[in-house]
Chain A
Amino acid sequence: MDFVNSTLEWLSQYIHEYLLFTIYSGVKALVILVPLFIVVAYYTYAERKVIGYMQIRKGPNRVGPKGLLQPFADMFKLMFKEIIVPTNSNKYLFIIAPVITFAPAMAAWAVIPFNDTLVFSDINAGLLYILAMTSVGVYGVIIAGWASNSKYALLGAMRSAAQIVAYEIAMGFALVGVLMVGGSLNLGDIVNKQAGGIGHWFFIPLLPLFFVYLISGVAETNRAPFDVAEGESEIVAGFHVEYSGMTFAVFFLAEYANMILIAMLCSLLFFGGWLSPVPGLLGDSVGWLFGKTAVFMLLFLWFRATFPRYRYDQIMRLGWKVLLPVTIVWLFVEGLAVYFKVGPWFV
């Protein structure tokens, strides 16, 4: 960090302040986003491998040793494919829809802290910002469905809109619970509040809210078993049925980036982020955060490999009639715990 600061000071003699700030922010964003893209690429590979092994298959094993170059093969294939814009579709909205999904998925990473100091933007209302960004992403899905001028796509968009509205509320309420314990909207503060070993992590007092958050997170990212917006067996591919080549790849990228985001938020908000489970024995490090995130990322794949898809009305029922009441009841319980100062979380 000292090295970065001294370099910035040296540069500021030659470059205008605003320009320097822009360049510095751009570099910081790249430092976060480039590894993210690589993780997304290998997450798709891991998904196919893991699901393969779970179903007693081998998964991709032809491109490169053990299929390790498969993500690049897929990427180049998608890059060189033609982008087909359907006739009678709305061309501007059709092209802009993947961008609208992609941009918030990337923007949300701006406030994710990797340890005490390593964060792109350490803002006060970080958690609220993440909620806002993830809720904007649904517009890409809705616009894609509508602009495609295709019945399957429109059906997928409709389902997605209803699902997002239903699960967003449960998700928001689960996060209200985190705020009540954490006493802050800043993600770094929330993690630091969990200091003191595994017994101080928030998943213990907030176990029901953690499950609600995880389930809503899977639903928000349109992943199995809540992937009715895509629903291969019913509506072909749902909202992105008309998309090909790079436009499809951008949707794909956003979906996987969102999955990693939800996994990382689970570990930050409920499992102590970069904090070590036994502080006396092992030190805090960013490795803990990545390890915890990897576990939740594996959960996403595991869900997909093992659960059958929910029916549309069952999804609505689960969101409104099960998850939402659970969060409301638990907020009351938490209010009591705060009032009576139940330790070690509510002191």
Chain B
Amino acid sequence: MIETVIFYVFAIATVVSATAVVTVRNPVHAALFLVLTFFTSAIIWMSLEAEFLAITLVLVYVGAVMVLFIFVVMMLDINVARLREGFVRYLPLGLLVAAIMLGLMLSVVTSDVFVLEAGSEPAPRAADYSNTKALGGVLYTDYVFAFEIAAVILLVAIIAAISLTMRKRSQTKYQVPSEQIKVRKADRLRIVKMPSEEKS
């Protein structure tokens, strides 16, 4: 009973905040609503006994990815009025994309996989069942190659992104930490001995 209540409270919160992500005008607010969406969906996962995935969602997406997102969004000087220009012009295209996505989602949700009768409600696990251990066991045995390939693809993506954006500008002044550390007192400081003056 209580699980159902928890599910509905957080499901409604997820839907409302996800809607707010695309409807609010301020980009920073939108990003913050996205954070809330991640958080509430993490709680829904938690109620499905997927505690490792739930906490990792908070740790990775809320704790790292969205911090960077907000970091960038806060730095941008976004003109809210200009963002709302061309709403009517792009409306037909937007509606088309929305219709296609809706169709795809419906085709998945109404397929045999998601029919309620297909799988009865899984029995709750015992308290000492470790979701983390089970996931680790599967990832590093049955799916080890898929897992490694995914890791390599992500690494390639990082390197590609960095190499696309990294460029040295000639007029920028850079600090070279190794040279800064090598500096010794004798190179820069000269202590001059002065005889103390006699009292007149």
Binding site for B on A (CB under 8 A): 18, 93, 123-125, 128-129, 131-132, 135-136, 138-139, 142-143, 146, 154, 157-158, 161-162, 164-165, 168-169, 172, 185, 313-314, 317
Contacts and interface: CB of A to CB of B under 8 A. Distances in A.
Contacts of A317: 177
Contacts of B58: 132, 135-136
Nearest to A161: B71
Nearest to B72: A161
A228 B51 CA distance: 35
A93 B24 CA distance: 15
23 contacts: A93-B32, A124-B131, A125-B51, A125-B52, A125-B131, A128-B52, A131-B63, A132-B55, A132-B59, A132-B62, A135-B58, A135-B67, A136-B58, A136-B63, A139-B35, A154-B74, A158-B71, A158-B74, A158-B75, A165-B64, A165-B68, A169-B64, A313-B175
A172 B63 CA distance: 12
- Interface size, B (range): 20 to 34
Given A124-B51, A136-B62, A165 B175 contact: no
B19 interface: no
B3 to A, nearest CB: 12
Nearest to B57: A132
A138 B74 contact: no
Interface string B69-95: 011001100000000000000000000
Contacts of A158: 71, 74-75
Contacts of B183: none
Nearest to B59: A132
Contacts of A136: 58, 62-63
Nearest to B129: A124
Given A125-B132, A185-B132, A138 B55 contact: no
Contacts of A131: 59, 63
A138 B67 CA distance: 8
A75 B71 CA distance: 33
Given A161-B70, A168-B63, A317-B177, A146 B55 contact: no
B47 interface: no
A143 B32 contact: yes
B63 A124 contact: no
Given A128-B56, A135-B59, A142 B175 contact: no
